[in-house]
Structure 1
Amino acid sequence: MEYSGDRSLAGLTRRMGLWLGVAVLLGGGAAVLLVLQLAVLARIVADLAFRGHAFGDEWHAVGLLLALLAGRAVLQWAADMVATEGSLRLTSALRAELLRHLFAVGPVGIAGQATGQMVTALGDGIAALEPYFAQYVPRAAMMVVVPLLVLAMVLHLDGWSFLILACTGPLVPVFMALVGYRAQAIMDRQWTQLLLLGSAFLDILQGMTTLRLFGRARDAVTAMAGMADEYRRTTMSVMKVAFLTSAVLEFFSSLSIALVAVVFGSRLLEGKADFQSAFLVLLLAPEYFMPLRAFSASYHARQNARAAMTGISRLFALPAASARPDTHDASTASLVSVTCENVTAGYGNGIPVLSDASCTFTRDVLTVVTGASGAGKTTLIRLLLGLLAPAHGRIIATDEQDVMPAHWRDRIGWLPQQPRLIHGTVAENLRLAAPTADMDTLRRVTAQADALSFIEALPQGFDTPIGERGARLSGGQVQRLALARVLLRNPQVLVLDEPTANLDPQGARRVAAAIARAAAGRIAIVIAHRPAMIAQAGQVLRIRDGQVRAVPHGLECAA
């Protein structure tokens, strides 16, 4: 079930609270062992240097020191592993939720979104959250736990050193925050440039043929190089701020440690402090600032995550289309008709594309829908597919038992104008519709789609690789193969969008004839303008001025 709670960084942090709690607990245990380790080390050095102990007298202390060192390493490793595991689980779940949400929004809802930006948000955007939860959040917690533990130990040993560390320590986060405020603005600009860079690169790839035909390929490469160089300069600006942040941290930590050393050194010379306490405090002082160093090293993860969440939240904010339940119809009777009753539909701009339109599609009748560009043909198809909800009216289906099944859209087979084929064999492309289909079934549907003859003429038949998007096939062969893939699902409603649009006359006639044969026993709806397709129609509907009207026989080509 999709999580529908708070998807801000704070909300996501609460979602993996258990993993973070365990990681912080293990890290706190490692910090306790660190303090004990330094205390044992200080005692060993004091015994050897000032108390006249031989090295053999310290074997037990050395063993304890090694045990504490190993225990600390194991606990810290476990803390890092727990935080990383929780981060990976969270980002994987978030990516799955975002994909499910985009599927719920549907192609109509995401039509206005840049493809490159969506891909970047799903890929680099969610990946940028992983170091935030695996490193930044645990280190932010340890930045509180370890200094408090060190301060408590130092307070027990020496009040002056406690006062110095307590005063200088808070200055580091304050100045880091002042520097980081500027870094966040630069990081936001860098993320925006990355989104634009991804979108521009995808646009250039998709329009490469057009750019070459118009002689603008070199200009596109130059523009792309300019955007990449701008992104490089912004990234270097981020790095400059990161180095400045580290410099601020190192300055104040070095100043604090130096003050502790000077104060303790003078007191040692005066005989007002013992060596073991002074040595232990000097060992603890760098560890007091070590969590701040680790936090500073991962601070850019927070900036990346905040910038990435802007794009991710924008995608989650897209309204989902009306969802259909996953249950299927109890009735197995075949559909006999699909009817649009007084349907009004549009896209939110206030002007309906279809206005009070009515039409009926019946079984065994091939219906061809025509109309000028922008008349509403695609809108009608989206309504039939359930990708767009009508503002008024309804679309119903009736089966042989005169029942109106609620989920009749599960029985639709859809063939777009430009079908997508994967980089694989003919059989692999067909089995996308039915992974368990045997070879006899593949032969039957390809014969029905008039594709069997050319498939068998290929070098390896059904095992022939066809290249990316069917690059090794002609346009007509791609259409017939895609039609066979749709028929493999045995749909009761067949919806096709301009299946002969980009074919030569001979290829258009073969595809049109194959569609006419496939329409037998089904409700077949085709958007088309080519005479070859219209000639096969049993019913021609024309969309004009938001209305759907039947074209009388003999006037089909004029439609």
Structure 2
Amino acid sequence: MDSPGNRTLMGFTRRIGLWLGAAVVLGGAAAVMLVLQLAVLARIVSDLAFHGHVVSDALAGLAMLLALLVVRVLLQWAADMVAGEGSLRLSTAIRSELLRHLFHVGPVGLAGQATGHMVTVLGDGISALEPYFTQYVPRAAMMVVLPLLVLGMVLHLDGWSFVILACTGPLIPVFMALVGYRAQAVMDRQWRQLLLLGSAFLDTLQGLTTLRLFGRARDAVTAVAGMADEYRATTMSVMKVAFLTSAVLEFFASLSIALVAVVFGARLLDGTADFQSAFLVLLLAPEYFMPLRAFSASYHARQNATAAMAGISQLFALPAATIRPDVRGSAANVPLISISCEDVTAGYLADAPVLLHAGCTFTRNALTVVTGESGVGKTTLIRLLLGLLPPMQGRVTAMDESGVLHACWQDRIGWVPQQPRLVHGTIAENLRLADPMADLEALRAVAAQADALSFIEALPQGFDTVVGERGAGLSGGQVQRLALARVLLRNPQVLILDEPTANLDPQGEQRVAAAIAHAAVGRIGIVVAHRPGMIARAARVVRLRDGQVFSGPHTVEHAA
């Protein structure tokens, strides 16, 4: 991954410098073909009009004109394709790097980020960079190459025309910059409104059930519609600025071309200028301003990219969590016998720890239930065990049968959240998310271990039965047992579950609790639970209160 200094528009531009350089070279060659094409055209018209040539005499010139046109079109097409390919490669790389960085930040670091904001940045934000590299950067370069080429040609043909073009041309970028300051402010406001709109829309969709239950769905829709209307109004403001920029450009371009035409017209009447030179200069004058027109049309791409980079940089600036080294070799297969929290203080703010000098041990073949009131630190303890949150003080260690402490034991954890996610697909496909190469016998084995085989085989298509998104069509207990089976397919040495029976009926609670107790045999099993059916299955109970760990009726642990 590149250093933070390269995560700017200039840094990204340097990363595809070869692609953009090739696009500029090809565009420059196309500009040369254009100038030659106009020179040939002026020569053909002059010969036909004033030198008594007939069309048959101009066939060679017409063939050259056609050849130059074809070559120019091909060169420009190649320039656009090269710039587009480089831009697509870069946007794909940026999106991959940002996703990888967000994975390194982890769920704890992303807890304060709005989901809609991140989705908008990863989608529309990175997409807004593509026109910047595809259009703005090559056109900015061509705004220098082609006008200089035209000025050189005009200087060779006529000094007065050179003076007029050289004086009026620089005025256009100056006035565009003045207009651009206002445009950037409008673009920034438009981007902020897009982020707010995306976040509000996603939050409304996620909370639609609650909104309907409280009769506030219509109010939420009205609020989102109002934000969409504000975004529409801001977009129209951007369009107004764009039209103003185009009007300024067209005014100075038309004025300059008119001056050239008037000067040449007077000199042609006086007989001090020849037609071919005058005609060629008049053909070149509009092309002198054409790159400026193209640059003006793509200038909003720079403003969009600048606004989008603020959101992208904000996500890249999130601090990454400590990355655990990969586990290789036979050490990864040594069975663990215990996990210990030793004098652990942990939390999210330095001056407000959630756990304070906590100590507890989780052993193999002894299912441990972690319980306590909401907010006492159960989630914090689980995040410590999962390696998502580093301790402020103390340490979390794991010991194998030989008494060796391991630093990378989190890679051997099987984690089942309170609301496990199933995707739209067959039951087999959902299970194979843990191991794409698992055969049917392996799926049957883990399903039996999780007490899910009987209901799977009772379905019309068995493992080929299609389930809906989030397990639609299955009961809560069936979803929990499928999620347990999926985790067991990785054969973890540590099994951690968060409130697996929280939303189940008593019968479902008993089946899931029994399946968990069975799956925990031969493993270190840790369950966060409140329900008595799950607690009754525990060999040890860790109770949390006020950031402290206390012994309970099923535990042999001493108070922290």
Question: Which TM bucket (shorter chain)?
Answer: over 0.9
Deviation at 1:334, TM superposition (A): 0.6
Deviation at 1:327, TM superposition (A): 3.8
Q: Name the CA distance, whole Å, in 1 between partners of 2:459 and 2:86.
A: 50
- SS of the counterpart of 2:338? strand
- Name the CA shift for 1:39/1:512 in 2 (closer, same or farther; >3 Å): same
- SS of the counterpart of 1:414? strand
Q: Name the CA distance, whole Å, in 1 between partners of 2:11 and 2:426.
A: 45
- Counterpart in 1 of 2:26? 26
Deviation at 1:423, TM superposition (A): 1.0
- SS of the counterpart of 2:221? helix
- Counterpart in 1 of 2:155? 155
Structure 1: which amino acid aligns with 2:530? H
Deviation at 1:3, TM superposition (A): 5.4
* 1:364 and 2:361 matched: no
Preserved contact between residue 329 and residue 408 of structure 1 (Cα < 8 Å)? no
Deviation at 1:15, TM superposition (A): 1.1
Unaligned 5+ residue runs, structure 2? none
Supply the RMSD in Å over aligned alpha carbons: 1.3
- Counterpart in 1 of 2:42? 42
* 1:454 and 2:482 matched: no
Which residues in structure 2 correspond to 1:428-443 (within 5 Å)? 428-443=429-444
Preserved contact between residue 34 and residue 68 of structure 1 (Cα < 8 Å)? yes
Structure 1: which amino acid aligns with 2:90? L
Q: Name the CA distance, whole Å, in 2 between partners of 1:454 and 1:289.
A: 73
Which residues in structure 2 correspond to 1:384-533 (within 5 Å)? 384-533=385-534
- SS of the counterpart of 1:343? strand
Structure 2: which amino acid aligns with 1:27? G
Deviation per CA, 1:207-239, whole angstroms, max 9, x where unpaired?
111011111111111111111111111111111
Structure 1: which amino acid aligns with 2:21? G
Preserved contact between residue 329 and residue 406 of structure 1 (Cα < 8 Å)? no
- Counterpart in 1 of 2:307? 307
- SS of the counterpart of 1:394? strand
* 1:381 and 2:379 matched: no
Deviation at 1:552, TM superposition (A): 2.8
Preserved contact between residue 328 and residue 407 of structure 1 (Cα < 8 Å)? no
Which residues in structure 2 correspond to 1:75-224 (within 5 Å)? 75-224=75-224
Deviation per CA, 1:261-296, whole angstroms, max 9, x where unpaired?
000000000001000000000000000000011111
- Name the CA shift for 1:258/1:554 in 2 (closer, same or farther; >3 Å): closer
Aligned length: 556
Preserved contact between residue 329 and residue 405 of structure 1 (Cα < 8 Å)? no
Q: Name the CA distance, whole Å, in 1 between partners of 2:396 and 2:168.
A: 72
Preserved contact between residue 344 and residue 353 of structure 1 (Cα < 8 Å)? yes
Deviation per CA, 1:486-542, whole angstroms, max 9, x where unpaired?
111110000111111111111111111100000000000000010000000000001
Preserved contact between residue 539 and residue 555 of structure 2 (Cα < 8 Å)? no
- Counterpart in 1 of 2:271? 271
Deviation per CA, 1:421-473, whole angstroms, max 9, x where unpaired?
11111111100001011111111111111111111122211111111111111
Structure 2: which amino acid aligns with 1:482? A
Q: Name the CA distance, whole Å, in 2 between partners of 1:553 and 1:166.
A: 90
Preserved contact between residue 329 and residue 407 of structure 1 (Cα < 8 Å)? no
- SS of the counterpart of 2:6? coil
- SS of the counterpart of 2:106? helix
Q: Name the CA distance, whole Å, in 2 between partners of 1:3 and 1:508.
A: 50
Structure 2: which amino acid aligns with 1:509? Q
Q: Name the CA distance, whole Å, in 2 between partners of 1:555 and 1:93.
A: 52
Q: Name the CA distance, whole Å, in 1 between partners of 2:424 and 2:195.
A: 27
- Counterpart in 1 of 2:541? 540
Q: Name the CA distance, whole Å, in 2 between partners of 1:42 and 1:316.
A: 55
Q: Name the CA distance, whole Å, in 2 between partners of 1:554 and 1:291.
A: 78
Structure 1: which amino acid aligns with 2:318? L
Structure 1: which amino acid aligns with 2:161? S
Preserved contact between residue 339 and residue 360 of structure 1 (Cα < 8 Å)? yes
- Counterpart in 2 of 1:347? 348
Structure 2: which amino acid aligns with 1:30? A
Q: Name the CA distance, whole Å, in 2 between partners of 1:549 and 1:468.
A: 40
Preserved contact between residue 449 and residue 484 of structure 1 (Cα < 8 Å)? yes
- Name the CA shift for 1:267/1:2 in 2 (closer, same or farther; >3 Å): closer
Structure 2: which amino acid aligns with 1:166? A
TM-score under structure 1 normalisation?
0.98
Which residues in structure 2 correspond to 1:6-17 (within 5 Å)? 6-17=6-17
Deviation at 1:4, TM superposition (A): 4.7
Which residues in structure 2 correspond to 1:46-61 (within 5 Å)? 46-61=46-61
Unaligned 5+ residue runs, structure 1? none
- Counterpart in 2 of 1:234? 234
Preserved contact between residue 187 and residue 303 of structure 1 (Cα < 8 Å)? yes
Deviation per CA, 1:123-161, whole angstroms, max 9, x where unpaired?
000000001001000000100111111011101110100
Q: Name the CA distance, whole Å, in 2 between partners of 1:553 and 1:525.
A: 14
Deviation at 1:300, TM superposition (A): 1.0
Preserved contact between residue 411 and residue 492 of structure 1 (Cα < 8 Å)? yes
Q: Name the CA distance, whole Å, in 2 between partners of 1:345 and 1:246.
A: 58
Q: Indicate the percent of aligned positions where both proteins have the same amino acid.
A: 78
Preserved contact between residue 151 and residue 165 of structure 1 (Cα < 8 Å)? yes
Q: Name the CA distance, whole Å, in 1 between partners of 2:555 and 2:355.
A: 26
Deviation at 1:241, TM superposition (A): 0.9
Q: Name the CA distance, whole Å, in 1 between partners of 2:203 and 2:347.
A: 28
Q: Name the CA distance, whole Å, in 2 between partners of 1:381 and 1:122.
A: 29
- SS of the counterpart of 1:524? strand
Structure 1: which amino acid aligns with 2:316? F
Q: Name the CA distance, whole Å, in 2 between partners of 1:144 and 1:545.
A: 68
Q: Name the CA distance, whole Å, in 1 between partners of 2:5 and 2:101.
A: 13
Deviation at 1:549, TM superposition (A): 2.0
Deviation at 1:2, TM superposition (A): 5.4
Structure 1: which amino acid aligns with 2:445? R
Q: Name the CA distance, whole Å, in 1 between partners of 2:458 and 2:508.
A: 17
Q: Name the CA distance, whole Å, in 2 between partners of 1:489 and 1:231.
A: 47
- SS of the counterpart of 1:61? helix
Preserved contact between residue 357 and residue 546 of structure 1 (Cα < 8 Å)? yes
- SS of the counterpart of 1:401? coil
Structure 2: which amino acid aligns with 1:369? V
